[in-house]
Amino acid sequence: MAYPVVAIVGRPNVGKSTLFNRIAGERISIVEDTPGVTRDRIYAPAEWLGTEFRMIDTGGIDMGDEPFLTQITQQAEIAIDEADVIVLVASAPEGVTDADEKVAKILYRSKKPVILAVNKADNPEVRETVYDFYALGFGDPYPVSGAHGLGLGDLLDEIVKNFPTDDGAPKDDSIRFSLIGRPNVGKSSLVNALLGEERVIVSDIAGTTRDAIDTKFTANDTRFTMVDTAGIRKRGKVYENTERYSVMRAMRAIDDSDVVLVVLNAEEGIREQDKRVAGYAHEAGRGIIILVNKWDTLNKDNHTLTDFENLIRAEFQYLSYAPILFVSAKTGQRLDQLPALIKRVATNHKQRVQSATLNDVIMDAIALNPTPSDNGKRLRVYYATQVAVAPPTFVVFVNDPKMMHFSYERFLENQIREHFDFEGTPLHLIERARK
Ligand code: GDP
Ligand code: GDP
């Protein structure tokens, strides 16, 4: 389900990204080990005393050549639109500036809780000056030092205290999916085409405010929730056209989904931005389906489909598990197959296999292809067990985890895939030394 979202706002150089990295830091470095993932994050998972949430660094949402005041105004508006809790950051040594007041004025219009963090309060003398910041009108200022990690506990306590409470809405067992892809690939056309299918029954039960951005429907006797339909459809505000904003939006939708439909445009082929978007979905461990939209625009012969498929397999090697569907929002081609495919991928993503069968598969695999050895020492695999679903995660007990080479791990993964239907879901394999 959706995580609470915290947005960090404030004029440039007050230390927004330093605070962002401090609070989400550990998680970011884990994520960065995945190849192909951008380093400069504006959206990241974070956690405080067992409460998970998501953070947005609005300072990283660059509006191109817009003048300084327009940029901070738009960043503040994004925070109001996207966040459950807003953290306004100012700088203690510099005191209250005109730009701080400008941002504060925009935030007054929001009904969302705003917490004031006064950064660079690195020592007791500077901390004295935080009282000046009451003038901004957001109650108690929280002195912090992003650079030295001071005061963060109190700030985080206050952030978590302001998260919206669960309003007791009944638990929803529907399959949550999202459509992601760069602008113009046809996402909103696909949404409309899907909802227009005669087998699809759109439910009109008004949910919570948070749910209003989602669309619920039933198809093939299965309940689905299309995540962030509003975000796909709406178009108007200036910042909605910036790439970093749409990437942030896509990351949020991925986070809230069981299955992600990565939409490509057959007419334009594969672009760098497609790969980045798909990379986020893979890294988040969601079920993935690749949709090649606008299939109606190509002059096709016997090779067109296979050629396109080969191109996708070459360009998205890490997504070898993802099924590909060639569709057209315009003609409706193959869209009737989509609900069943989403359901199958969601089932695979949550699949739990029996340990006995799993171990038979692993032992047969080892008999087929002996484990690597190094300096007379051989990797020994003792036992494997599935420890989690969504995505399916396996712990493999071995004599020495360092001896598990990438290629052998890949071989074991492929053997598991040959014996169980894990189409559409990434698998995680973790090696542990047996004690
Ligand atoms: P942003 O533009 O608001 O995202 O600000 P940055 O995080 O990029 O920080 C701006 C500058 O302030 C950098 O040079 C940081 O090293 C510095 N800075 C950030 N936090 C602190 C802090 O707590 N104390 C001090 N002294 N400097 C800081
Ligand atoms: P989004 O930005 O990803 O939501 O893309 P839109 O749904 O707004 O579509 C962008 C453009 O592509 C619009 O002009 C659509 O009419 C067109 N389009 C979308 N899907 C198809 C399709 O399957 N075939 C053709 N020929 N055009 C399409």
Average model confidence (pLDDT) for the chain? 89
Give the integer Cα–Cα distance in Å for 418 and 70.
55
Model pTM? 0.85
Which pLDDT value is given to residue 32?
A: 44
Which pLDDT value is given to residue 144?
A: 97
Widest CA span in the chain: 76
CA of 148, closest atom in ligand 1: 23
Indicate whether 357 pLDDT > 80. yes
Three-state secondary structure of 185-233: CCHHHHHHHHHHCCCCEECCCCCCCHHHHCEEEEECCEEEEECCHHHHH
Give the integer Cα–Cα distance in Å for 143 and 122.
9
pLDDT digits (tens, 9 = 90+) for 273-304: 888 888 888 988 999 999 999 999 999 999 99
Give the integer Cα–Cα distance in Å for 221 and 200.
10
- How many angstroms separate the Cα of 422 from the Cα of each of 102, 158, 235, 350, 414? 52, 42, 37, 9, 10
Topology adopted by domain 175-349: Rossmann fold (3.40.50)
Kind and range of the H or E element at 276? helix 272-283
For range 146-163, the mean pLDDT: 95
Whether 175-349 and 5-161 are alike in CATH topology: the answer is yes
Chain-centre distance for alpha carbon 265: 21
CA of 183, closest atom in ligand 2: 2
Topology adopted by domain 355-433: GMP Synthetase; Chain A, domain 3 (3.30.300)
Give the integer Cα–Cα distance in Å for 178 and 370.
41
Protein residues with CB under 6 Å of any ligand 2 atom: 181, 183-189, 232, 293-294, 296-297, 328-330
Q: 50 Cβ partners below 8 Å, 6+ apart?
A: none
Q: 229 Cβ partners below 8 Å, 6+ apart?
A: 191, 213, 214, 215
Question: Of 109-113, 163-167, 375-379, 387-391, where does mean pLDDT reach its minimum?
Answer: 163-167
Give the integer Cα–Cα distance in Å for 429 and 432.
10
Question: Of 6-15, 23-32, 386-395, where does mean pLDDT reach its minimum?
Answer: 23-32
Q: How many angstroms separate the alpha carbon of residue 266 from the centre of ligand 2?
A: 11
Give the integer Cα–Cα distance in Å for 366 and 383.
12
CA of 59, closest atom in ligand 1: 4
Indicate whether 125 pLDDT > 50. yes
Which pLDDT value is given to residue 68?
A: 83
Nearest to 26 by CA among 160, 149, 117: 149
For the ranges 67-76, 84-93, 244-253, the one whose mean pLDDT is highest: 84-93
CA of 57, closest atom in ligand 1: 4
Kind and range of the H or E element at 307? helix 304-315
Peptide bond into 12 cis (omega under 30): no
- In terms of residues, how long is the chain? 435
Give the integer Cα–Cα distance in Å for 362 and 168.
44
What residues are paired with 43 via a beta bridge? Answer: 56
Give the integer Cα–Cα distance in Å for 105 and 275.
39
Choosing from 16, 17, 18 the residue with most ligand 1 atoms within 8 A of its CB, the one to mutate for a pocket test is 18
Q: Indicate the annotated binding residues for GTP.
A: 10-17, 57-61, 119-122, 181-188, 228-232, 293-296
82 near 7, Cβ under 8 Å?
Answer: yes
Nearest to 22 by CA among 116, 174, 155: 155
Per domain, the residue ranges of the chain are 5-161, 175-349, 355-433
pLDDT digits (tens, 9 = 90+) for 209-255: 454 678 889 999 999 999 987 777 766 777 877 778 888 888 889 98
Q: What backbone torsions phi and psi does residue 257 show, to the nearest 5 degrees?
A: -115, 155
Give the integer Cα–Cα distance in Å for 283 and 426.
9
Q: What string of DSSP letters covers 116-179?
A: EEEE---SHHHHHGGGGGGGGSSSS-EE-BTTTTBSHHHHHHHHHHTSPPP--PPP--PEEEEE
- CATH architecture, domain 5-161: 3-Layer(aba) Sandwich (3.40)
pLDDT digits (tens, 9 = 90+) for 14-54: 999 999 989 987 555 444 444 444 445 788 889 999 999 99
132 near 105, Cβ under 8 Å?
Answer: no
Predicted-complex ipTM score: 0.86
Residue with tokens 């484990």: 371
pLDDT > 90: what percent of the chain? 69
Which pLDDT value is given to residue 424?
A: 98
Choosing from 184, 188, 189, 296 the residue with most ligand 2 atoms within 8 A of its CB, the one to mutate for a pocket test is 189
- According to DSSP, residue 4 is labeled P
Question: Of 153-157, 184-188, 210-214, 302-306, where does mean pLDDT reach its minimum?
Answer: 210-214
Q: 205 Cβ partners below 8 Å, 6+ apart?
A: 216
Protein residues with CB under 6 Å of any ligand 1 atom: 10, 12-18, 59, 119-120, 122, 145-147
Q: How many angstroms separate the alpha carbon of residue 251 from the centre of ligand 2?
A: 21
Q: How many angstroms separate the alpha carbon of residue 91 from the centre of ligand 1?
A: 9
Q: How many angstroms separate the alpha carbon of residue 299 from the centre of ligand 2?
A: 18
Q: Indicate the annotated binding residues.
A: 10-17, 57-61, 119-122, 181-188, 228-232, 293-296
- The pairing of strands 215-219 and 142-143 is unpaired
Q: How many angstroms separate the alpha carbon of residue 269 from the centre of ligand 2?
A: 14
Q: How many angstroms separate the alpha carbon of residue 77 from the centre of ligand 2?
A: 28
Give the integer Cα–Cα distance in Å for 255 and 247.
12
